[in-house]
Structure 1
């Protein structure tokens, strides 16, 4: 079965999942630190898998361990593979069950919107009620499996993206951010796609995503992306572009910062996953999420051959992941939808 899937499609699917997991794992020990603290505490630029320091909230995690970012994405992927299409109830159940299995509540490894919503769901709130306050980036970072399955149908892609967000990140802001990421990944899967194609799709996704969810005040994310791209165009050197993103766009878990910075990193690094991940890991702030989003998009664009396989293998071993199997199952589901809807 594996031999029939050694194709460009599989390389892109695998690259997307590898980019997500590797970015998450490499960013795990540097999360919550400033760029200066990262350089000082780790002896320079982090370019490999490292253990968090003893003073870090994730102290005790082994080098290569992923966080809730990858965990939630895999939970969504498994729900999709089992049921073929998401509903708010399926997403809510998948996330609550995942949180229980990994003791996410006890370990404190959940973002604020997700933690609040999952506790509300456990107390009997409906998915629509639980996610009304979610404005952070948890919906955007777990959206890759949805993009991989529904990349050929814009309407389904947007609808399923919104549903995947609703139980924890049900605001127009959070869904707009997730839609920007899912649209970027979908565009990156197209053979011959360029960085410009990916960013154009992200912009369209940000606009379309605002048709879903509970209204909230927010800068328009497509305009925010325009601003980020204009800012980096002022500088010739990558280091200056990275510093400008940190200072002028930001690296916090709010989507107006982290998701836009992740998208801008795709441009800064020419869509190459390893440089995008490494730059994100050393930027400070919500490093694991920024690196996971940038890694997933760039991985879908360039494919699995663009990765350091030694690093990826360590992440899979430490977390008992089989990304190739998951990629094949998601690719098969996508082909099922292609046949059903004659994409």
Structure 2
């Protein structure tokens, strides 16, 4: 593999594995997780609720047992969108390519144990994309306005970082544009920052410190403040075990979701310049505590609970991009791939090849601009 392929497959497979492991513990507290599993989770485990079909009738999904969730379904869908578009994406790409992907292409959905449209599994905040763009005919650049503000856009933005590998500024700009069709406010901001974190992690020689510094340089408002506060708290911690109360205290001023995760007040998930999603700052915090180690980054997110699948998926994407495919435990890749009936490595190879192709297009465009500007600045003055 080339370094690009290695880092891309590490990122995409790493995100999927984190997603699958965290799916089992999503929505619960660290104490509940320990009680349910007789200790902290260290790998693939069964569903939190054994009667998963009836435990939550509105969401009868088979989480756990190594099943990927909607985070990975959306990530893989976005990679297919890049294949169709053949170039950089924007909000109109969501209307032209992502919507047909969500409502017209049947795929295997592990949590449903059936082939179905992604639209039949994704969360309401993601169904918004189809409702607004396909049925509402809203301007794609404004379609995210009015949606609940959550991590829905950030959770699948890793491919944008790979396409813009080693150029976090470009990744941020592309993700913010694309995410306008899905999210607004700090949800859209987090999408840009997540893409930038992956783009920096793809750079040869990147470190945990350089990733965090990149996010702080580009992030705005509450998102920046939350990342700064939570990562600062993380630097004083030696392991994720025992870190949860400290990290939650650092995140609490910026989070609109209650300490009791499923009990949300009137201010939850509403637009704000002072707030932030919880998932991205926590993912970066566990990356800091683990010093970039993939396994420990993911297990921190898994055992933290709350939105564990998205925290572990985001942390896994960045750690996987930093360390490459070998950093992602092979037994986990095999277990999750087999349980989900999904190739976790192939999509990373696809997006790596697309990144090379798009980079060649960028070079040609840049050189044409350089030639044109040189003619403007070096020619005879009027």
TM-score under structure 2 normalisation?
A: 0.77
Q: How does 1:210-249 map onto structure 2 within 5 Å?
A: 219-236=221-238, 238-249=240-251
Select the structure of larger CA radius of gyration.
2
The structural deviation recorded for 1:18 is 1.2
Which residue of 2 is the match for residue 141 of structure 1?
155
**Equivalents in 2 of 1:87, 1:225: separation in Å?**
26
1:28-64 deviation digits (Å, cap 9, x = unpaired): 1111111111111122111222232223645535611
Residues paired across the two proteins, number:
324
Q: Is 1:130 paired with 2:129?
A: no
The 2-side partners of 1:339 and 1:98 are apart by: 26
Structure 1 Cα separation of the partners of residues 239 and 334 of structure 2 = 32
Further displaced range: 66-75 or 244-253: 244-253
The secondary structure found in structure 2 opposite 1:151 is coil
Matching of residues 1-343 of structure 1 within 5 Å: 6-52=1-47, 53=49, 54=51, 55=55, 57-61=59-63, 63-84=65-86, 85-100=88-103, 101=106, 102-104=116-118, 106-107=120-121, 109-110=122-123, 112-126=124-138, 127-134=140-147, 135-154=149-168, 156-169=170-183, 171-207=184-220, 219-236=221-238, 238-249=240-251, 255-342=276-363
Deviation digits for residues 209-264 of structure 1 (CA, Å, limit 9, x no counterpart): xxxxxxxxxx5322221111222334455433333113431585964322111111
Could you say if the C-alpha distance between residues 93 and 47 of structure 1 is closer, same or farther in structure 2, counting changes exceeding 3 Å?
A: farther
Instruction: Measure the CA separation in 2 of the matches of 1:9 and 1:237.
Output: 30
CA distance in 1, matches of 2:142, 2:3: 41
Q: Secondary structure at the match of 2:43?
A: coil
Rounded to whole Å, the distance in 2 between the matches of 1:276 and 1:232 is: 12
What corresponds to 2:370 in structure 1? none
Unaligned runs of 5+ in 2: 107-115, 262-268, 270-275, 367-382
- Alpha-carbon distance, 1:196 to partner: 0.5
Find the aligned partners of 1:259 and 1:88 in 2 and give their Cα distance.
22
SS at match of 2:187: helix
**How far apart are residue 194 of structure 1 and its match?**
1.2
Measured in 2, the distance between the counterparts of 1:341 and 1:94 equals: 21
Alignment correspondent of 1:210: none
In the TM superposition, what whole-angstrom CA distance separates every residue of 1:187-213 from its partner, at most 9, and x where no partner exists?
Answer: 111122111111111122314xxxxxx
Cα distance in 1, alignment partners of residues 194 and 12 from structure 2? 14
Partner Cα distance (1:236, 1:86) in 2: 40
**Comparing 186-195 with 255-264, which one deviates more in the overlay?**
255-264
Distance 1:125 1:175 in 2: 20
Higher fraction of helix: 1
SS in 2 for 1:197: helix
1:133 Cα deviation from its structure 2 partner: 2.5
What is the CA-CA distance between 1:89 and the residue it aligns to? 3.1
Distance (whole Å) between structure 2 residues aligned to residue 202 and residue 116 of structure 1: 27
Contact 1:143-1:164 at 8 Å conserved across structures: no
- Could you tell me which residue of structure 2 aligns to residue 215 of structure 1? none
Q: Is the 8 A contact 1:73 1:145 kept in 2?
A: yes
Structure 1 spans left out of the alignment, 5+ residues: 1-5, 208-218
